[in-house]
């Protein structure tokens, strides 16, 4: 029961934070806040999962963030950048900064994609590990191709190495 209270409190805190950032960001969570939420999510997954496959399916609920981080790190390493230096290379940053898409639309896109990927992974769970892993591999390829396309479009005429 105390675990349920923690879950509700974290959800309500995030919901209370939302109005300050819906259309124009007024409060910045930063790395500290996002790391805390990631840690809480990891704790939830660890407690809730009954086996490794279920853990993979629950982790898939944040799949776009993991793939975005991985592809961004690969691009930065490929370009010889120091990973410890700040940057604006993540997909959501490219969409907002280079294409001028409002943050709320990007957030809605991410939330929808993450919800769909996670729900389908949970639906695929009864069909076994092979089905789930093939599905997530296809999602990974699709997201990586989409990100590469967006990075390429962001670099045209800019003269910057975003790809």
Tell me, yes or no, whether 19 and 56 share the same domain: no
Q: What's the confidence (pLDDT) of residue 103?
A: 81
Tell me, yes or no, whether 81 and 139 share the same domain: yes
Does residue 5 carry a pLDDT above 60? yes
Domain boundary among the residues 11, 32, 48 is at 48
Q: How many domains does the chain have?
A: 2
- What pLDDT digit, counting tens, does each position of 27-74 carry? 777 777 878 888 888 888 888 889 999 999 888 888 888 899 899 999
Q: How many helices (H) and strands (E) does the chain have?
A: 7, 0
Q: What is the DSSP letter of 19?
A: G
Per-residue 3-state assignment (H helix, E strand, C coil) for 84-130: CCCCCCCHHHHHHHCCCCCHHHHHHHHHHHHHHHHHHHHHHHHHCHH
Q: What's the confidence (pLDDT) of residue 102?
A: 87
Tell me, yes or no, whether 105 and 156 share the same domain: yes
Tell me, yes or no, whether 148 and 100 share the same domain: yes
Tell me, yes or no, whether 9 and 86 share the same domain: no
Tell me, yes or no, whether 68 and 123 share the same domain: yes
Tell me, yes or no, whether 144 and 156 share the same domain: yes
Tell me, yes or no, whether 104 and 124 share the same domain: yes
SS3 of 155, please?
helix
Tell me, yes or no, whether 66 and 113 share the same domain: yes
Tell me, yes or no, whether 161 and 94 share the same domain: yes
Does residue 112 carry a pLDDT above 70? yes
Domain enclosing residue 30, as ranges: 1-48
């Amino acid at each position: 029961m105390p675990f349920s209270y923690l879950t509700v409190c974290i959800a309500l805190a995030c919901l209370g934070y939302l109005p300050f950032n819906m259309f124009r960001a007024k409060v910045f969570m930063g790395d500290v806040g996002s790391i805390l939420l990631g840690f809480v999510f990891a704790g939830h997954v660890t407690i809730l999962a009954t086996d490794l496959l279920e853990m993979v399916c629950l982790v898939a609920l944040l799949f776009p963030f993991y793939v975005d981080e991985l592809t961004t790190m690969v691009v930065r390493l490929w370009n010889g950048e120091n990973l410890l230096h700040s940057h604006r290379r993540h997909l959501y940053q490219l969409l907002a900064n280079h294409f001028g898409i409002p943050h709320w639309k990007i957030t809605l896109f991410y939330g929808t994609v993450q919800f769909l990927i996670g729900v389908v992974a949970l639906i695929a769970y009864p069909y076994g590990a092979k089905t789930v892993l093939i599905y997530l591999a296809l999602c990974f390829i699709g997201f990586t191709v989409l990100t590469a396309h967006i990075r390429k479009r962001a670099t045209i005429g800019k003269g910057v190495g975003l790809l």
